[in-house]
Structure 1
Amino acid sequence: MLSRLKLGPKLLLAPAIVLVLLVLLSCGAWYAMVRQNASLEDIVGRRAAHMRAAGELVSTAQRGHAEIYQLHTWIGGSFPKSRIEPLIHDIHRQHALTEAGLVRLARMTPPNGAERQLVDGAASAHTRYVQAVRDVIEIARDDQSISANAMSKAETAFSDLAQRLNALAQLEQSLSQEASNSAAADFRAVAWLMPSVILLAIVVSLGITVAVRRALLDEIRGIGAAVVDLASGDLTVKDRVYGKDEIAETSRALDASIRNLNGTLRTILESARSIGSASRDLALGNLNLTTRAVFRASSLEHTASSMQELAATVHLTADSAQAANLLAASASNVAQQGGNVAERLVTTMASVKGSACRVDEITRQIDAIAVETGTLALNAALEAARGGDNGREFALVAGEVRTLALRTGAAAREIRELIEQSVAEIEGGTAFAAQAGTSMATIAVSVQQVGDIINQISSASAEQASGLSEVNQAIVQMDQVTQRNSSLVEEAAEAARTLQMQALTLSKAVATFRLDEAVQPPEPPSRPSSVAEIDMRDVLKDGRRDASIAPRVERRKSPRPHLRLASRRDS
């Protein structure tokens, strides 16, 4: 969890938790003080008042009951009425005080609970007791001899009242004791909670501080180890777990820098190796080129004589191409004439086809007329048969007409069939004539194209004849250039060897670092002692030797992109 926090929140985590615990402790202490104050107010303000009221009620009731006995004694002792009436008035006043105290206590108590039940019971008992006292006073005024029975009832009512008032006083005392015990328990809870919370705050603060210290030290030690490895030349990147704070970002940036430096040095090693290999191949190629230049100088003389023979052959080819061009023009004219004849043949066949179609329509009309004539003859024969002997001759004539109509229809159908066959053959001939016309047109176009090609051949032969003379001059210049190339190739071989030595020096300098992927440095160069060390059989081979040079040149050129890439990375 700590690895996901930034450095600021991570450092403020322990003080924040301690502050939260202190706030909670303050809130708890304040709540305990409020509860204790409420308990004290309940004890002092309510429970003490209830206890005082209950005690006053008991004393008032006892004083009034004692006055009842005094009144009973005075009435029996024949005291004057002037002394008895004030006593009776004082008894009633004590009863009123007791009743007012009960009412006041009932207002002070909650409507439900044991305290209210005792107050209500005491009020009922006091009502019964007052009524019994009044009965005693009335009976004592009339006849004291029978007032003893009423006095026993009053004593019983007073005993019930006194019992209830004493129970109420004991209940008020027990409730006051419970409130005092609750206040003491709250004080003990606060006295236990505050040290516990303070100890918890200290433990949590120390734990978080130790965890944050360990996390920060692990990240800083990781960065220190990476810097020590970098100073010792170890550029391998270790797998580490990163957090999200500023130290972790610094660690990631350092690892990325080491990884980039690792890739750069690995590219330098690969480029140095490619440079060494390319320079070695270049030196060997330059030596081979020097040897081949000697043999090519002699080959240029044979080439010049061959070029003269080739020029004569080219002139002969131009003359033959001119004659072929004339023959192609003649063939093109003949093909065009044949195409015109084929077009006229197609037109004629189309006209014949139209005439045949017209004859076919006429024969169809004749066939239709023959059918109608036969129908009329049949109807005439039927009418002659109805006429009896008078229509017999007419019936014979109608039969003959019907026979002629049938023969005419049969002949018309035969003619139509022949015409249809002729139309089909005419259509086939028309198609063949159209194909012949198309073929003649194609032949004419092909002959024209052949003529154009022969013209191109003739022009090319003339250009070749003029170019061969230039080639002869170029061969002479090539001989001169070949001699100059020999000296330049020797200089290039020496430069290639120097380049290879520099690549070796660069590889040794980079090899002091340990990289992720080990790249072997290039081998030291080996220079041939002389041209004779080269296999001369490869040089003296014919065109196969020249053909094998191109792949070798491609292999020599392949490392060059690595050289450019390494130079850009170094810059």
Structure 2
Amino acid sequence: MRDGKKGLALPSHMFAWTAAATTILATVAVAIVDLQYAWLPPLVGMTVLAGYFAKELARTHRVVSRALSGSFTHPLAAKTYSDQPKQIGLLEVAAKSQYTHLDTVLTRIEEESNEVSKRSKQGLVQTQSATKKIDQQQHETQEVATAMQQMTATVSEVSQHVQLTADGAKESKSLAESGDETLRQTLESIQSLADLVGQISDSVEDLSKQSEGIAEVALMIDQIAEQTNLLALNAAIEAARAGEHGRGFAVVADEVRKLAQRTQGSTQEIHQIIERLRSGAQGAVKVAANGRESATNGLSQMSSAQQALQAIVSSVTTISDMAVQMAAAVEEQSHVSEDINRQLVRISDLASGTKSEADAAKNSMEELQRVSSDMHELVVRFK
């Protein structure tokens, strides 16, 4: 039902009882005017009945007034916005005011419900987008964590290889130093051998010189024996000329000649021995010279080898130091990789927690949207 004067919509059942009461009161008033005192007994009954209705109307007015407390119920408004009698008009105006207020509240609730639905939809879209991004972030974080675990394992393996390299370099350094010491001792031995060969060469040369002196002495003895042989031959000739008187002298001369011949034979043997000794000495001198030259060459080569080995020792030492530094650096990198891996695991756990919270927020947004939709339907039905 809609009021024609002010255009305020009212429910049709709200004033059904007031219309009935108004009809009864109007009938009573007409009866009083028309019948005056002719129908006094019935009038008394009607009056009692009217009093009863008036009492009930007053009680109903109080109840409705309490229900519509705070509504616009000024008497002037009742005369302006209603054609009904005083209390009925007040009730009608109060009901219209309350209905208008309720309509405004419901409209505001509907608008806010629509806004909540709109915001919840936006929040749901944003939450779904955030959930998707969190899922992607969690997936990428897990991939990075897996890659870091693989890199950590690789770094650990590299660290082991570098440590093995460092140990091998240390062992190579130790072996090179041992080889250098052995080479130094060999060099000293070769140097001693070269000195000994030099001494032998000098001794052989001295022996060769002495054998030449012996050869000269033997030559002199041979010459003396030859002269003695000639003298003995001359003495034998002279003894033969002397005849019987020179026979004893001839025997002596013959013995001297034999002795001279034997001396010449011995000197020839000495010459042969000296010649063999000289030849052997010359060969020994040549061998000693070759040995000295070989020893000198060996010393030079061993010295070069020692220098090369010392350079190798220096290089191996540098490699060993670098390997130790690399092992320390790789070990530090391994610790850093493990720290990063642990941080990535924590980030992944945080991402999982954030995803759970985002899922909960998504569910809350969906529930809020459902509640907003239900509230909107209730408001529409109530209006």
Which band: TM-score by shorter chain? 0.3 to 0.5
Q: With the length of structure 2 as denominator, give the TM-score of the two structures.
A: 0.43
Asked which structure has the greater RCO (Cα within 8 Å, sep 6+), the reply is 2
